[in-house]
Amino acid sequence: MTTQTAPPRHDAPPAPPRPRHRPASAQRVSRWQIYVPLGLYLLFTLVPFYWMLVFALRPRGSSSLIPWPITLENFATIWNGLGFAVFFRNSLLVGAASLVATTVIALAGGYALARYDFRGKRLFMVAMLCTQFIPGAMMLIPLFEIFRTLGLVNTLWSLVIAETVFQLPLSLILISGFIKNIPMELEEAAWVDGCTRLRAFFAVVLPMLRPALVAVGSFAFIHSWNNFLFALMFISDQEKFTVPVGLAYTLGEFSVDFGALAAGGVVAALPVVLVFAVIQRYLVQGMSAGAVKG
């Protein structure tokens, strides 16, 4: 990544009041130049979601494209009959554990990278970039052997470890980029006031890292929630399946039950879409300050 850094948003001076006239870039765009392409794209984005909702909510045998009257029988089928209740719980556990592990490890490492010079730092940075080229799918065999040696095959721990490790490089880069943007003087001021370095970190740095933490944590959760291959390869016990594996099995049935497939899809989508709705504004911020420029 480049060394150039965007000014951090948190300590930028408050934006001056918006000028009355629109900025030049917006002046000559007529409304239909925005709404027509946007509307078409929204159609492309939303029709697939809507299709899934229709099949999940409408009664069996119906072919109406308006899911009315609503029925929850498909959800009952997958939740209890196909075991999605268990898959859902497993996915939540793995997601939460990877979120915490990734964030804590990346926070400590990111602080070291941003605030200290030490031998091996450059090597570590280069190695982190190189890991981005490692094909995750192709690490399945060696990882499987390692987990077998450690006795972790067929446990949720194997998933937590694999997710965390694959999430770490990008999280470290993002968080250290953010910490670099926080002026050192702020921390030093806290030391002068008698804070230890650790206390200064918690009192001064941590609160300012909120956008970065939200971005890193939600990346970790979403990736872990969505990951399919690790769970497919490392887990053989149906009691320990995650949601994507369960969904893939619904797909693989000889005669696909489309209602159940759609309901499973809604269950798989709901948590990430909710998380996404909350974080999407931070996401753009986090990206512009940390990932791209830092």
Taking CB under 8 A as the criterion, the residue among 8, 169, 217, 294 binding another protein is 169
Paired tokens of 1 = 């990544």
Q: Give the whole-angstrom CA distance, residue 54 versus residue 71.
A: 10
The rounded distance, in Å, linking the Cα atoms of 243 and 265 is 9
Nearer CB in complex with another protein: 11/145: 145
Q: How far is the CB of 184 from another protein (least distance, A)?
A: 4
Nearest Cα residue to 223 out of 266, 264, 265, 163: 163
Beta carbon of residue 277, minimum distance to another protein (angstroms, whole number)? 6
88 near another protein, judged by CB under 8 A: no
Cα 134 to Cα 147: distance, rounded to the nearest angstrom? 19
DSSP 131-198: HTTS-GGGGHHHHHHHHHHTT-TTSHHHHHHHHHHHHHHHHHHHHHHHHHHS-HHHHHHHHHTT--HH
Which residues, at least 6 apart from 120, have a Cβ–Cβ distance to it below 8 Å? Answer: none
Shortest Å distance, C-beta 237 to another protein: 18
- Nearer CB in complex with another protein: 49/85: 49
3-state helix, strand, coil in the chain (%, to 5): 75, 0, 25
CB of 217 to another protein, least distance (A): 14
Subset of 172-231 contacting another protein (CB under 8 A): 172, 184, 188, 191-192, 197, 222, 225-229
Q: Which of 11, 60, 65, 73 binds another protein (CB under 8 A)?
A: 65
- Identify which range of 66-74, 75-83, 161-169, 202-210 contacts another protein by CB under 8 A: 161-169
| 3-state secondary structure (DSSP) of residue 201 | helix
- Which 230-259 positions form the footprint of another protein (CB under 8 A)? 244, 247-248, 250-251, 256, 258
For another protein, the binding residues in 123-142 under the rule CB under 8 A are 124, 127-128, 130-142
Report in angstroms how near the CB of residue 67 gets to another protein at its nearest: 13
How many residues interact with another protein (rule CB under 8 A)? 105
279: its two tokens: 């974080």
Least distance in angstroms from the C-beta of 276 to another protein: 4
> With respect to another protein, which residue has the nearer C-beta, 109 or 217?
109
